[in-house]
Structures are given as C-alpha cells and as structure tokens.
Amino acid sequence: MTETLNIDQIRADFPVLHQQVNKAPLIYFDNAATTQKPKAVIDALSAYYEQDNANIHRGIHTLAERATTAYELTRKKLAAFLNAPSTDQIIFTSGTTAGINLVAQTFGRANVGKGDQIIVSNLEHHSNIVPWQMIAEEKGAEIKVIPVSDAGVLDIEAYKALLNPKVKLVAVNHVSNAIGTINPIVEIISLAHEVGAKVLIDGAQSVAHLAVDVQALDMDFFVFSAHKLFGPTGVGVLYGKRDLLESMPPYQGGGEMIKEVSFSGTTYNELPYKFEAGTPNIADVIAFGAALDYVQAIPSEALAAQEEALLAYATQKLQLIPGLRIVGTAPEKIAVISFVIDGVHPQDIGVLLDKFGIAIRTGHHCAQPLMQRYELVGTCRASFAFYNTFEEIDRFVLCLEKTLQMLG
C-alpha cells in the first residue's frame, strides 16, 4: 500500500490557503495558472534579503560568496531533479516563455532556414506557438501542426506523416495546460530524431505532476517555470543538450555572459553563463531551491495518488451535473478538468464561483487554436494540486450547482 499524505499537515505549510475570500473559505483550483508557495519558500526569500543579499559571481566579499553559493546550489538541485548530466546545462531564465524565446532566437535563428519546417501541436499554449511563428516568418520557414482528436489526444499517425528532413524543430508540451492531456513525448522525441529534427518540450504543466528524466527521455530542450512548481514567479529553467547549447549563438549580450570584452572583439563565457546576461533573479532562484526541497520531500507516489484520486472524484461528481461536458478526456491526463455547460458562458460561472470563494480559470487558457478546434469560446478549468481536498471538491460542485441555478 502506498503511503497517504497528511493533507492537513501539508495545508498548514501554505499560508495563502488559510483565508476567507468573499466571506467564504478560499478554494484554490487554479493551480495550472500558478501554484501556491509553501512557507519554506517565502522564508527563504526573506532570509535571503535579510541576511545574504549581494550580487553574485562578481564580489569577493562574504555576502557575495554566500549569495553565489546559494544561487548555484539551486542549479545543482535542478540538475539532480531533472537528472541532467551536468549543472552547465541548467540555464536560468525568467520563465517558460523566456526559455522558448531563447531557443527560438538562438537555435532557431541558427538552424531554421527558408523552406524549413517547425512542427507544433494543436494543444500548445500561445507561448509555444508565437515565438516559432516569429522566427518562421523571419526565415521564410513553415509551421506545421499536429492535429488533436475530440478527446484531446495528439494524432501520432498524422505527426509521422508531417515528419521529413525539412523539419528542424518540433515544439510540443509535455502536458496541455488547457485540458490536461499528457502527451507521448518519448515517441514524439524518437520519431523527430529519426529525421534529424530537434525537440523542445514545454514542461510548464508537467513538472509539478510527473517525474522528468531528461536523459532517459533523450530531451534536446526542456523548459519550465518555477512558479508552477511551488516556487516564486520570475524564474524559469532551460535544459539543453550540451552540444546544442554550445553551438548556439548567445541570446542577450551584457555582463556575466562574456569572457573578455574589447572593442576589437568579445569572447563569450562558458555554459551556462553564456545565456545568463546581466544580474539574474538571485533571490527567487534561491527561494526556488527551497521549493524543490519541499516537493521532493513529499513521497512522489503518495503525491501522484492524491492527485489521481482528486481527478477521479471530481470527474465523477461533475459528470452528474446536467448539461456539463468535460473537454479533454484523454486516458492519460493530469489533475485538470476543463468543462463547458450548455447555454452558459464560462465567464459567468467564474464570476459567481469567485463570489463563493472558489478560484477557477475561465476563458481560452492562452490556447486559442485549441478552442477554435473545439469551436468553443472558452472553458471553465479546475486544476488541482496535492494540497486540495475532497471536501473542497464537494463544496465546489455544490456551489457550481447553485451558480447554475442562479444563471438558469
């Protein structure tokens, strides 16, 4: 039997959960947008500013050394978290979006030419579409799209048919933010490699729910945001294969990313600093280290079991509501439920649930092409984390029923 989590104890670690919103206890079901932060992360942030604040990598004084060590420690933790072969391959960015843009503007700029192709999927977040459109437009390349089934599953046969030697990059998310589908990235990656294409996996929605081993998965690029993994906003991670990162031109120029600067020419720093120009987000990177410690201390099987149970319970209860349809019913999905209700606009549901103290997300979830595919103006999305409870789901369903009565 797997260990079960002590949810009360876990909830006690998240200060934000203990409050009233609109005179009702907060129910936070918008974890796919951003997760809440454990006290350990908040404490790490203030401890850094209270005790260690200094600029890193430059000073020789004690504070600079402490800050540098703490900052680099998060990189080490991340290398272990992802099973990366080396810390040099862990590049700090400001988030998933920044990581994707970095790869588009460096790898993309150097490797995508006229008539080449970039493959994305119909399930992507705008941040894994627009940066590729920008580089494709600039280079005269084409964007090809892997179609998605009614259930929300990518069509792998269609993907195979799209692959050819002109494809330079495949950019797909590990997990869809809008409907929760877990994509078959092992297959996606190996098929791309057969035609010589590289793959960027957007892990924004997967890292909080699934174990990621970048070597076992043979990842070329993997990007995610700390804020969706119980860490602070403003920090992201780009993992890349060493040969790719080394051959890529630098992105932004500035301090930190150089070896030597003179007016006759500048040489660039080594990995990972070549891609980290300027003073980075030191405090939040250090606090992110505390988030990694926190999640890794939770037994992963128990965490997955809790999320699976929440998903199954909520799915079963929501299906009993007349007129409600779940959008995204892939057999493999994380604890995200997108739904629509006949004759009711998602926004109305979101506004009224907020009055009951319940936070969900409504709208297109930055995935307009997917909404177009399903001919929807948007959906309501409830996304769970391990600190959510069955009682919260009960109250959510009850309040949703009341909401529908009010709108009826």
Partner 1 sequence: MGKSINEIQEELIEEFGLFEDWADKYEYLIDLGKKLAPMSDAFKTEENVIKGCQSRVWLHAEKQGDLVVFQADSEAIIVKGMISMLIRVLSNHTPAEILAADLYFIEQIGMSQHLAQTRSNGLVSMVKQMQHYALAFS
What order of strands is seen across the sheet that includes strand 379-383? 324-327, 336-341, 379-383, 361-363
Q: Which residues, in sequence order, are CB contacts of 275 under 8 Å at separation 6+?
A: 91, 93, 102, 106, 238, 245, 250, 251, 257
Return the one option of ligand PLP, partner 1, none that residue 345 interacts with (CB less than 5 to 8 A, by type).
partner 1
Of 132-140, 176-184, 187-195, 340-348: span binding partner 1 (CB under 8 A): 340-348
Give the number of residues in contact with ligand PLP, rule: CB under 6 A: 12
Return the one option of ligand PLP, partner 1, none that residue 351 interacts with (CB less than 5 to 8 A, by type).
partner 1
Q: By CB under 8 A, what part of segment 360-379 binds partner 1?
A: 362-363, 377-378
Q: Tell me how far, at minimum, the Cβ of 21 lies from partner 1, in Å.
A: 12
Q: Does 26 bind partner 1 (CB under 8 A)?
A: no
Give the number of residues in contact with partner 1, rule: CB under 8 A: 15
Q: Which two tokens stand for residue 70?
A: 């703490």
Distance of CA 117 to the CA centre of its chain: 25
Q: Does 126 bind partner 1 (CB under 8 A)?
A: no
| Interface with ligand PLP (CB under 6 A), residue from 97, 117, 122, 379 | 97
Q: Where are the beta strands (DSSP E) in 110-159?
A: 117-121, 142-146
Q: Does 398 bind partner 1 (CB under 8 A)?
A: no
Q: Would you call 366 a catalytic residue per the annotation?
A: yes
CB 351 within 8 A of CB 399: no
Of 121-129, 138-146, 224-232, 399-407: span binding partner 1 (CB under 8 A): 399-407
C-alpha span between 228 and 39 (Å, rounded): 16
- Binding string, 183-212, against ligand PLP, x = CB under 6 A? -------------------x-xx-------
Return the one option of ligand PLP, partner 1, none that residue 289 interacts with (CB less than 5 to 8 A, by type).
none
Distances (CA, A) of 207 to 32, 176, 213, 309: 11, 12, 11, 19
Cβ closest to ligand PLP, residue 68 vs residue 225: 225
Cβ closest to ligand PLP, residue 274 vs residue 381: 381
Cβ closest to partner 1, residue 25 vs residue 147: 25
Active-site annotation holder among 33, 47, 195, 366: 366
Helix axes 282-297, 39-47, angle to 10 degrees: 150
Q: Which residues, in sequence order, are CB contacts of 69 under 8 Å at separation 6+?
A: none
Q: Tell me how far, at minimum, the Cβ of 378 lies from partner 1, in Å.
A: 7
Q: Tell me how far, at minimum, the Cβ of 100 lies from partner 1, in Å.
A: 23
Q: Which residues, in sequence order, are CB contacts of 306 under 8 Å at separation 6+?
A: 4, 5, 7, 386
Q: Does 347 bind partner 1 (CB under 8 A)?
A: yes
Per-residue three-class SS string for 319-382: CCCCCEEEECCCCCECCEEEEEECCECHHHHHHHHHHCCEECEEECCCCHHHHHHCCCCCEEEE
Residues in contact with partner 1 by CB under 8 A are 22, 345-348, 351-352, 355, 362-363, 377-378, 402, 406-407
Q: What residues are labeled active site?
A: 366
